[in-house]
């Protein structure tokens, strides 16, 4: 009984967190807020000599509520965001609930750059909510 009284009941999470279904909130192993950005990837040199670029989506992390993020940036799969109908706006702040696989979590903890083909896909992104 005493342990439940001493445990923090609210982790200063934004109100938007409590509006999400409980099942989604419980599944998240990484919860962050940050600013959304997108742009093109570094140049990719193709075998036939052609240069190409891919679109990258990322979140500049401002606060970590659950889990561990060693760097300031988390990379999201731009195509998956579009496919699922998520229309995020550059420069806007978002609450993001994630459940990264072990390979993705290792890169996030280390704060490594992640190429677009290894970015977090739609199975790893549980919810993205814009903060006002």
pLDDT tens per residue across span 7-29? 444 468 899 999 999 999 999 99
Length of the chain: 132
Please report the pLDDT score of residue 2 as a whole number: 47
Strands 30-40 and 55-66: antiparallel
**Mean pLDDT for the chain?**
89
pTM: 0.83
Q: How do the domains of the chain map onto residue ranges?
A: 21-130
Please report the pLDDT score of residue 87 as a whole number: 87
Please report the pLDDT score of residue 11 as a whole number: 65
The CATH number of domain 21-130, selected from 2.40.50, 1.10.3470, 2.60.120, 3.10.129 = 2.40.50
pLDDT band at 127; cut points 50, 70, 90? very high
């Amino acid at each position: 009984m005493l342990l439940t009284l001493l445990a923090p009941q609210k982790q200063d999470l934004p109100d938007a967190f409590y509006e999400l279904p409980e099942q989604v909130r419980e599944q998240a192993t990484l919860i962050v807020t940050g600013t959304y950005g997108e742009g093109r990837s570094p140049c990719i040199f193709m075998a036939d000599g052609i240069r190409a670029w891919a679109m990258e989506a990322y979140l500049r992390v401002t606060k970590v509520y659950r889990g561990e993020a060693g760097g300031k940036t988390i990379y999201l799969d731009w195509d998956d965001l579009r496919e699922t109908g998520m229309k995020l706006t550059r420069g806007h702040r978002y609450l993001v609930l994630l459940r990264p696989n072990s390979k993705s979590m290792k890169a996030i903890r280390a704060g490594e750059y992640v190429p677009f083909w290894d970015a977090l896909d739609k199975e790893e992104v549980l919810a993205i909510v814009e903060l006002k």
